[in-house]
Amino acid sequence: MEEAKQLFLDDLEKIKGFYADGLLAFNFLKQHLDLSRAQTIEMLKRTSPEHANDEYLDTVIQAYAEEMDPAVKVGATTHHKLTGLNVATQGEVKKRNETNGENYYQLGNLAIVIIYHLWDEKHRKLLSGNGPSIEADIFGDLKILRNDIIHNHGVLHKDLALIPFFKKGDRVLFNSQKFAYCVKEISNVIEAIK
């Protein structure tokens, strides 16, 4: 039993690390983008003063791609179709990487979905053995959250038993405090198993 508990807690710790690393990466990306934009504005002040501002840079396309599609020549102009992992304006990238921006929430939701999946598909069976299935309000809540994140566009379809910060009809948005609360509740349940 102790080994099965530790296996789950180890998996939980890995997900917590993944989540924390992701939050730091968003912060570093935002800092890098801010520095790059400041340098670009200084350069544009000399070469194209009308574009030396945040409003203009917010409209500039930023693409994460290993390569662009082959060039297409139309008349005297060569066009490249930007494709790849992501094509967005700098403004969109900046906004989604703000603290508590869309990336923060998506990462939290993803981590919750992974935790519940590991619980449901692997650890519940290991911890229950031949005995009755382990039931706890936190895991019932995680099941509802997982299903609504995946199947209901992240909108909660019913109230939760334990988690206090989401109500029926709310959009499920996990920030670091909400994620930490859930992880602590999960750890408490696992550590209490005899």
Q: Are residues 15 and 106 in the same domain?
A: yes
Which residue, among 64, 60, 26, 31, has the nearest Cα to 44 in the 3D structure? Answer: 60
If one compares 193 and 157, the residue with the highest pLDDT of the two is 157
Q: Are residues 155 and 110 in the same domain?
A: yes
Q: pLDDT of 124-151, one tens digit each?
A: 988 887 777 888 999 999 999 999 999 9
If one compares 65 and 181, the residue with the highest pLDDT of the two is 181
| pLDDT-wise least confident of 27-31, 96-100, 125-129 | 125-129
Q: pLDDT of 43-78, one tens digit each?
A: 999 999 999 999 999 998 887 766 555 555 555 555
Residue that the structure tokens 């039931």 belong to = 135
Q: Is 124 exposed, middle or buried (0-12, 13-18, 19+ CB in 10 A)?
A: middle
Query: For residues 88 and 86, what is the distance between their CA atoms, to the nearest angstrom?
Result: 6
Q: Are residues 83 and 108 in the same domain?
A: no
Q: Are residues 115 and 90 in the same domain?
A: no
Q: What DSSP assignment string belongs to 38-56?
A: HHHHHHHHHH-GGG-SHHH
On the question of pLDDT at 194 being above 90, the answer is: no
Residue that the structure tokens 């405090």 belong to = 177
Q: How confident is the model at residue 86 (pLDDT cuts 50, 70, 90)?
A: confident
3-state DSSP call for residue 87?
strand
Of 71, 96, 121, the residue that ends a domain is 96
If you average pLDDT over residues 82-88, what whole number do you get?
70
Sign of the CA dihedral with 131 first, then 10, 185, and 17 last: negative
If you average pLDDT over residues 86-94, what whole number do you get?
88
Residue 70 structural domain: 26-96
Q: Is 79 exposed, middle or buried (0-12, 13-18, 19+ CB in 10 A)?
A: exposed
Query: For residues 108 and 89, what is the distance between their CA atoms, to the nearest angstrom?
Result: 24
Q: pLDDT of 69-83, one tens digit each?
A: 555 555 555 555 655
Q: Are residues 106 and 147 in the same domain?
A: yes
pLDDT for residue 132: 75
Beta bridge partners of 44: none
Q: Domain count of the chain?
A: 2
Q: How confident is the model at residue 171 (pLDDT cuts 50, 70, 90)?
A: very high
pLDDT for residue 175: 92
Q: Are residues 79 and 160 in the same domain?
A: no
What global pTM score does this model have? 0.83
pLDDT for residue 170: 97
